[in-house]
Amino acid sequence: MVEPWILLSIMAAFFQTLRFMLQKSLSMGTLSALGATFARFAYAAPMAALLAGGYAASGVGLPAVGERFWIYVLSGGLAQILATWCVVLLFAERNFAVGITFKKTEVVQTALVGLIVLGDRVSLPGLVAIFLGLIGVLVLSDVPGGAGGWWRRVASRAPALGLASGAFFAVSAVTYRGATLEVASDDAFLRAMVAVAAVTAAQSIGMAAYLRWGEPGQLTRVWAARGRAVWMGVTSLLGSVGWFTAFTLQNAAYVFAVGQVEVIFSLIASVMFFRETVTRRELFGIVLVSASILLLVLLG
């Protein structure tokens, strides 16, 4: 029987792909990169609060949280904002499937951050599988046409944004796992929902304040785009519920490793919805990354 955290990770990856599709379309003229980033949190936060409150009111009650819970929530929330912003900027550099695959360096980086922050360990076979995924990312890091030297290709804007987003997502994943572990309850879903509600509320308030000061008029555009943006909030919430609940059950590096099935989902989206072309080299890189996922699940 497949373990619940694996199914939750796959579910989260599916809804995250849908959310990135909506986010890409909104960032192409309708909203700025930060506006599109804010929209996912702003429309998810009220639904997260209602879901967490409703579940708690059903009889389980609100659990206690400690000071470290809020440290994890705020640091993870900021890291996720920066990571999502990098991904939105990345969409303008390469096609949808490759952009998402660059983001998946988060698995490699999550293993390291998890060890440093929470003491979560990855086995030697798991590290080998992670290294295979890194090779796949380097294959994908070549600029279109392959012009210029190796350093120019690897140091171009797209890989830099991808690596940055992966680093920030790694920090957010580990701190979110830390937050769920600080909730005083044995109910994995309740722990996840309390963390999701706290994180999305903090992100919405913080970004709203920044956008009002830094990008006047952007809040109005986010509200005007609510017909599509609300669905981004729905898919964001469903993805977060999957990730956070899985984080309560398993090491964040393994959760993200299984979640790299998103690469396959994004490839389908790239071809079917955005009518983008995936080259043989890019497909080979995606295959390597996907193979690393299977090895991590089987050997990690």
Place of tokens 């009111």: 57
Distance CA(40)–CA(19), nearest Å, equals 8
Residue 128, judged by CB atoms within 10 A of its CB (0-12, 13-18, 19+), counts as middle
Model pLDDT for residues 85-140, shown as the tens digit of each residue: 887 787 676 555 666 667 767 877 888 898 888 888 877 877 787 778 778 766 76
pLDDT at 96: 59
Mean pLDDT of 202-208: 95
* Residue 232 vs residue 286, higher pLDDT: 232
Among 107, 31, 41, smallest CA distance to 240 is for 41
- In this prediction, residue 99 carries a pLDDT of 64
Task: For the chain, give the longest Cα–Cα distance.
Answer: 63
- pLDDT, tens only, 233-273: 999 999 999 999 999 998 888 888 788 787 778 777 777 77
Our CA angle for 33, 257, 94, nearest 5°, is: 35
Helix (DSSP H) and strand (DSSP E) numbers for the chain: 14, 0
- State pTM to two decimals: 0.82
**Tokens 């993200």 belong to residue:** 256
Q: Is the pLDDT of residue 142 over 60?
A: no
Residue whose entry in the numeric block shows the structure tokens 């490699």: 108
Report the mean per-residue pLDDT for the chain. Answer: 83
Distance CA 103, CA 36 (A): 17
> When comparing pLDDT for 299 and 268, which is higher?
268
Confidence of residue 225 (pLDDT cuts 50, 70, 90): confident
Q: Tokens for 285?
A: 């890189």
Query: Tell me, what's the pLDDT at 285?
Result: 78
Scanning the structure block, which residue is given the tokens 């792909």? 17
* Residues in Cβ contact with 180 at an 8 Å cutoff, skipping those fewer than 6 apart: 191, 192, 195, 244, 247, 248
Over residues 22-40, the pLDDT tens digits come to: 877 776 667 887 888 888 8
Task: Round to whole Å and give the CA distance between 108 and 132.
Answer: 10
Residue 298 has pLDDT above 80, yes or no: no
Q: At 29, give phi and psi (nearest 5°).
A: 110, -35
Q: CB neighbours of 192 closer than 8 A, spacing ≥ 6?
A: 180, 241, 244, 245, 247, 248
- For residue 150, what pLDDT is reported? 47
Is 117 in contact with 297 (CB distance < 8 Å)?
no
